[in-house]
Amino acid sequence: MKRALLISLFSVMLMPSAHAADLCLEGVCIGQDIREVNAQWRPVTLQPQEQVDVRNMLANQPVKQIFDQRNELLVAPEAVLKDLYPFVIRRQIFDGEVLNKLKGVQAFCTSTTLTGELKYQGDGRVFVTFRAMPDENGNAQLRVIAIEKQFDIMAFSLRPQDRDKDKAKRKELKAQYPEMVETRDLDTARPNSAEVSFASTLLGYRFLSDVSIPLTLRMRDTADLQMMEDVAGNNVLCKQTYGL
């Protein structure tokens, strides 16, 4: 999975309210705490060179300093930060093991955002992104802010034979999600209309992907919520550790 997936999803910030509870896909719902999702996650594997790079970085610089420089302000024991470094800092990605390691974090003081892939046996691939956001008590909820389903349907320029499948899938999804807005490029930095900018459900091609331009359904959180940075100063551990 490419870093571009996280970059494009991180742009989903403060927007007008949406009915998050209605936005569910493959057993995962927008607004849900990722720790409450009953799902299997595709394991993340560090390649041999990545493992070498991680060891070298951690040998040459205190891990807390690395997190601080990246503005990932987590209150956690050094061992936990070292375990999380390859996933939170280098790749912004999670799986079941990473979620388990996150239990060792005592406080999230910034909006940590990670993306993982469901172990999914159906058509296509499903990616879920969560962000640390304050709940009503100011504590961190690992809130699902985006769900993407990438279909095995490619742009016509790459696979002309997919034209009929594309047409049928669009019709099927429009019937299932009447509020869905269609756009050509899900990754464009400049949406072509306000309708696209504020839509909670989008369908289009993912040009920034580790497969060739798949047709993709994207659900995203459009609730107007506070960020962790807005309330971190109220957290005793954040205040003691970072002076917020």
Q: Under DSSP, is residue 16 helix (H, G, I), strand (E, B) or coil?
A: coil
Residue of 244, 169, 179 whose CA lies nearest to 18: 179
pLDDT the model gives residue 22: 79
Mean pLDDT confidence for 13-34: 73
Q: Are 202 and 181 in contact (CB under 8 A)?
A: yes
DSSP state of 167: H
Rounded to the nearest 10 degrees, what angle do helices 78-85 and 48-60 cross at? 140
Does 21 have pLDDT greater than 80? no
Q: In terms of residue numbers, what domain contains 83? A: 3-242
* 167 Cβ neighbours under 8 A, 6+ residues apart: none
pLDDT band of 175, cuts 50, 70, 90: very high
Tens-digit pLDDT profile for residues 118-152 = 998 888 899 999 999 998 877 899 999 999 999 99
Cα–Cα distances in angstroms (integers) from residue 43 to residues 69, 78, 113, 165, 215, in the given order: 27, 23, 18, 30, 24
Cα–Cα distances in angstroms (integers) from residue 91 to residues 84, 118, 197, in the given order: 10, 17, 26
Task: Tell if the pTM clears 0.75, that is, is over it.
Answer: yes
pLDDT the model gives residue 67: 97
Q: Strands 113-117, 74-75: parallel, antiparallel or unpaired by DSSP?
A: unpaired
Is 224 or 62 the better-scoring residue by pLDDT?
A: 62
Q: What is the mean pLDDT of the chain?
A: 88
**Cα 214 versus chain centre, distance:** 18
Half-sphere exposure of 224 (CA within 13 A, CB side): 4
Does 94 have pLDDT greater than 70? yes
Does 196 have pLDDT greater than 60? yes
Spatial distance between the Cα atoms of 130 and 10, rounded to a whole number of angstroms: 10
Domain count, the chain: 1
pLDDT band of 191, cuts 50, 70, 90: low
